[in-house]
A and B are shown apart, each in its own frame.
Chain A
Amino acid sequence: MLALLKRHRELLLVAVLLVLPLGVFFAEAKRPADRSGLDRVVLAVTRPIEKVVGWAVTGTLRAWSNYVALRGAQARAAALSREVDRLEMERQDLLQARAENERLAALLDLTRASPDRTFLGARVIGVRMDPKGLQLVTLDRGSDGGVRKMMPVLTAQGVVGRVHSVQGGTSDVLLLVDRNSSIAVRVERSRARANVRGLGDPGPCRLDYALRADDLIEGDELVTSGTDGVFPRGLPVGKVARLRRTTYGLYQNADVLPAVDVTKLEEVLVLASSVRPAQAAPAAQAPTQGGR
Chain B
Amino acid sequence: MKKTALHLALALLLAALQASLLRYVGGGAFSVVLLVPVVVYLGFHAPTVEGALGAAMAGWVLDVMAGGPAGLLTFLCMVLFLGSRLAGASLDIHGKGGFAAASGVGAFCLGVGALLLTRYVSPAESAPGARVLLRVLVESLVTVPAALPVLAAMRRIDALFEKEEPGLLR
Residues of A within 8 A of B (CB): 9-10, 13-14, 17-18, 20-29, 46, 49-50, 53-54, 56-58, 60-61, 63-65, 68
Q: Which residue of A lies closest to B121 (CB)?
A: A29
A60, B17: Cα distance in complex, Å: 10
Of the candidates B15, B52, B55, B72, the one whose C-beta lies within 8 Å of that of A57 is B15
Of the candidates B49, B56, B70, B78, the one whose C-beta lies within 8 Å of that of A50 is B70
A13, B75: Cα distance in complex, Å: 13
Residues of B within 8 A of A49 (CB): 60
Residues of B within 8 A of A28 (CB): 69-71
Interface string of B136-155 (1 = CB under 8 A from A): 00000000000000000000
Interface string of B46-79 (1 = CB under 8 A from A): 0011001101110111011100011110110011
Q: Which residue of B lies closest to A57 (CB)?
A: B64
Q: Is B71's CB under 8 angstroms from A53's CB?
A: no
Q: Is B13's CB under 8 angstroms from A25's CB?
A: no
A68 to chain B, nearest CB (A): 6
Leading 7 A-B pairs by shortest Cβ distance: A24-B71, A25-B71, A64-B16, A21-B74, A29-B121, A21-B71, A21-B75
Of the candidates A13, A46, A50, A61, the one whose C-beta lies within 8 Å of that of B19 is A61
Given contacts A10-B48, A17-B78, contact A29 B69 (CB under 8 A): yes
Given contacts A13-B52, A21-B59, A24-B70, contact A54 B75 (CB under 8 A): no
A25, B117: Cα distance in complex, Å: 9
Residues of B within 8 A of A10 (CB): 48-49, 52
A243, B89: Cα distance in complex, Å: 114
Q: Which residue of A lies closest to B122 (CB)?
A: A29
Asked whether any CB of chain A lies closer than 8 Å to the CB of B82, the reply is: yes
Residues of B within 8 A of A18 (CB): 75, 78-79, 82
Interface SS majority for chain B: helix
5 A-B pairs with C-beta separation under 8 A: A21-B74, A25-B121, A57-B12, A60-B15, A61-B15
Known: A14-B48, A53-B57, A58-B64. 8 other contacts (CB 8 A): A13-B53, A17-B53, A17-B55, A17-B56, A21-B56, A27-B71, A29-B69, A53-B61
Residue from A9, A57, A58, A64 having most chain B Cβ neighbours under 10 A: A57
A44 to chain B, nearest CB (A): 13
A9, B48: Cα distance in complex, Å: 10
Given contacts A17-B56, A50-B60, A53-B61, contact A25 B72 (CB under 8 A): yes
Residues of B within 8 A of A60 (CB): 12-13, 15-16
B152 to chain A, nearest CB (A): 20
Q: Is A64's CB under 8 angstroms from B20's CB?
A: yes
Q: Which residue of A lies closest to B62 (CB)?
A: A57
A21, B77: Cα distance in complex, Å: 10
Residues of B within 8 A of A56 (CB): 12, 61
A278, B65: Cα distance in complex, Å: 91
A66 to chain B, nearest CB (A): 10
Given contacts A14-B78, A56-B12, A60-B12, contact A46 B53 (CB under 8 A): no
Given contacts A50-B70, A54-B64, contact A63 B16 (CB under 8 A): yes
A44, B65: Cα distance in complex, Å: 21
A54, B74: Cα distance in complex, Å: 13
